Amino acid sequence: MQEHPKHYCGVFGIYGHPNAAELTYYGLYALQHRGQESAGIVVCDGKEFRAHLGMGLVSQVFNGGILQELVGSMAVGHTRYSTTGASHLRNAQPLTVDCKRGQIAIAHNGNLTNASRLRDELESKGSIFQTTVDSEIILHLMAQPTLGGHENNLIETVRRIEGAYSLAIMTEQELIGVRDPHGFRPLSIGKVGDAWVLASETCAFDLIHADFIRDVEPGEIVIIDKNGLRSIQAFPEHERRAFCIFEYIYFARPDSTIANRNVYKVRVEMGRQLARENPIQADVVVPVPDSGNCAALGYSLESGILFEMAFVRNHYVGRSFLQPTQLIRDFNVRVKLNLIAELVKGKRVIIVDDSIVRGTTCKARVNNLKEAGAKEVHVRVSCPPHMNPCFYGIDFPDRSKLMAVNHSVDEIRKYLNADSLAYLSPEGLVKATGLRKGSFCMACFNGVYPVPYDPLADKHSMERRRARVESLGEALVKEELQPKLL
């Protein structure tokens, strides 16, 4: 039962370091929370690309021997959760191509909203796709002939794609960072010594002792080569900003900084604002680890109610080969979080989490508290109710499966078996970030989509292609599950 939406992807790139592959490995390690299905690194020594990709966590895909084979001073890396395209090795990134322009590798965080139309257009002109991911479309567009040289081709490419994209692109001589004109996804620039670094989050800089320089601006293309860094604004007249506010709520690591705001501090402020808007008399504030920790602390600080880590998280949960039976009731719920009953027995408890999507996990937590003897259980949520799916790279369920779509707040409260339920308001959420309202995409809450999208057309087109690719056979799938040094 997946209560929280899954992460999408993390990208990393480095230019001008003799240990580029090793630093990329550590960068991806820091970005592991953004995707756990596959990981990959492509390096370049100025002439030749070397790549290794595999299914699983970064630490499972790479080891010391593999990294020693990845020789080069420039690299791009990617850790992936599939939003577009099936979970197979053929869809792992970075994607590479060898074309008339030379070798190109790309790592993409986000989701293109016009992918189906562009793919149909390219296929009608003879393009042959090897994957079902929208990121490959960008490679095909970059390989197209154009007037005015490489930089004009890059500008033309990013102007044709729509939706959310933060890109780390490597050619034989350059590292390139690109961010869509709305700025849906984060992308930052850093330096370690004389080497330049790109990363989805600044927490990756901390691990490799890189200094944060600045964020890549929405619509900006940064090109890093032997002459340093230069910038191109591909959308000089575009003013609308739509950074995904769910980065602050849940996705980004709390030790990252986005738009000069520390994520931890923003989440604590969300909890404070939640307490101002929805006070309640209680004895203890309890977070749902780890997503509710910061907001619960903020609620406690603002309300003056005692903060307790009553739920203890098991960080070493993997897949069990035994299915839960009557011997262990509620295995799936209890294996991840266990409750210290002494901290809540006979008390009025406020339980804080960052979101309620389907409601199944939250209901289990409320029941845990009441079974342990809690006198009252009050649920507080540090974001507004989720009312709409995301088309920009977050794996929210379709609208029919979102709890808040078909139920009132009181109906949800009854389903959760809670004594009260309250959400942070959209206005309070924006206020907690310290940024202006027009800075964000909040479509999952208010249904206002900054970039148009036709999900029905895209669904039909992608289903046809996925069926075609997956018809290659079970033997190919089994072969792809083995990590390879390419």
pLDDT digits (tens, 9 = 90+) for 248-262: 999 999 999 999 999
The token pair at 107 is: 């790592």
Task: Give, in order, the Cα–Cα distances in Å from 257 to each of 180, 241, 247, 377.
Answer: 19, 18, 11, 33
What angle, rounded to 10 degrees, do the helices at 263-277 and 426-433 form?
A: 140
Query: Between residues 451 and 474, which one has the greater pLDDT?
Result: 451
What is the reported pLDDT for 468? 47
Please say whether the dihedral angle defined by the alpha carbons of residues 171, 177, 179 and 181, taken in this order, is positive or negative.
negative
- The string of pLDDT tens digits covering residues 362-393 is 999 999 999 999 999 999 999 999 999 888 98
- Rounded CA-CA distance 114/158 in Å is 12
What is the reported pLDDT for 341? 97
What is the reported pLDDT for 88? 72
The CATH topology of domain 262-314+328-439 is Rossmann fold (3.40.50)
DSSP output for 287-341 = E-TTTTHHHHHHHHHHH-PEE---EEE-TT----SSPP-TTSTTHHHHTTEEE-G
- Asked whether the predicted pLDDT for residue 230 surpasses 90, the reply is yes
Task: List, in sequence order, every residue forming a beta bridge with 353; answer none if it has no partner.
Answer: 381
- Asked whether the predicted pLDDT for residue 461 surpasses 60, the reply is no
Ranking 57-66, 96-105, 364-373, 447-456 by mean pLDDT, the lowest is 447-456
- Asked whether the predicted pLDDT for residue 306 surpasses 80, the reply is yes
Which residues are catalytic, by number?
9
Query: What is the spatial order of strands in the sheet that 220-225 belongs to?
Result: 95-99, 102-112, 163-170, 175-179, 220-225, 228-233
Neighbours of 235 (CB within 10 A): 18
What pLDDT band is residue 82 in, cutting at 50, 70 and 90?
low
Contact of 284 with 313, CB cutoff 8 Å? no
The token pair at 47 is: 């002439």
Query: What single DSSP character describes residue 34?
Result: G
What pLDDT band is residue 476 in, cutting at 50, 70 and 90?
very low
What pLDDT band is residue 454 in, cutting at 50, 70 and 90?
low
* 268, amino acid identity: V
> For the chain, what is the mean pLDDT?
88
Ranking 143-157, 196-210, 270-284 by mean pLDDT, the lowest is 143-157
What is the reported pLDDT for 400? 80
- Asked whether the predicted pLDDT for residue 198 surpasses 90, the reply is yes
- Rounded CA-CA distance 9/108 in Å is 7
Residue 390 burial by Cβ neighbours in a 10 Å radius (0-12, 13-18, 19+):
buried
Half-sphere exposure of 257 (CA within 13 A, CB side): 14
- Rounded CA-CA distance 216/158 in Å is 15
- Asked whether the predicted pLDDT for residue 327 surpasses 90, the reply is no
Residues 160-188, mean pLDDT to the nearest whole number? 97
Ranking 65-79, 148-162, 416-430, 470-484 by mean pLDDT, the lowest is 470-484
Task: List, in sequence order, every residue forming a beta bridge with 111; answer none if it has no partner.
Answer: 164
The token pair at 392 is: 């920009």
What are the DSSP E strand ranges found in 62-201?
74-80, 95-99, 102-112, 163-170, 175-179, 188-192, 195-199
Q: What percent of the chain has pLDDT over 70?
A: 85
Query: Between residues 486 and 76, which one has the greater pLDDT?
Result: 76
What are the DSSP E strand ranges found in 216-282?
220-225, 228-233, 243-244, 257-258, 261-262
- Rounded CA-CA distance 392/374 in Å is 40
Residue with tokens 């790479």: 62
Query: Between residues 239 and 294, which one has the greater pLDDT?
Result: 294
- Rounded CA-CA distance 66/161 in Å is 34
Query: What single DSSP character describes residue 253?
Result: -
Please say whether the dihedral angle defined by the alpha carbons of residues 437, 442, 446 and 450, taken in this order, is positive or negative.
positive
What is the reported pLDDT for 148? 60
Q: CA nearest 301: which of 313, 293, 289?
A: 293
Ranking 12-21, 128-137, 346-355, 371-380 by mean pLDDT, the lowest is 128-137
Q: What percent of the chain has pLDDT over 90?
A: 70
Residues 240-252, mean pLDDT to the nearest whole number? 94
Contact of 275 with 299, CB cutoff 8 Å? yes
- Asked whether the predicted pLDDT for residue 103 surpasses 90, the reply is yes
Domain boundary assignment for the chain: 9-240+473-485, 262-314+328-439
SS in 3 state form for 400-468?
A: HHCHHHHCCHHHHHHHHCCCEEEECCHHHHHHHHCCCHHHEECHHHHCCCCCCCCHHHHHHHHHHHHHH
Residues 208-233, mean pLDDT to the nearest whole number? 97
Please say whether the dihedral angle defined by the alpha carbons of residues 202, 206, 208 and 213, taken in this order, is positive or negative.
positive
SS3 202: coil
What pLDDT band is residue 5 in, cutting at 50, 70 and 90?
low
- Asked whether the predicted pLDDT for residue 424 surpasses 80, the reply is yes
What is the reported pLDDT for 110? 92
Please say whether the dihedral angle defined by the alpha carbons of residues 326, 328, 332 and 338, taken in this order, is positive or negative.
positive
Please say whether the dihedral angle defined by the alpha carbons of residues 276, 280, 286 and 290, taken in this order, is positive or negative.
negative
The CATH topology of domain 9-240+473-485 is Glutamine Phosphoribosylpyrophosphate, subunit 1, domain 1 (3.60.20)
Query: Between residues 446 and 482, which one has the greater pLDDT?
Result: 446
What is the reported pLDDT for 463? 53
- Rounded CA-CA distance 219/182 in Å is 7
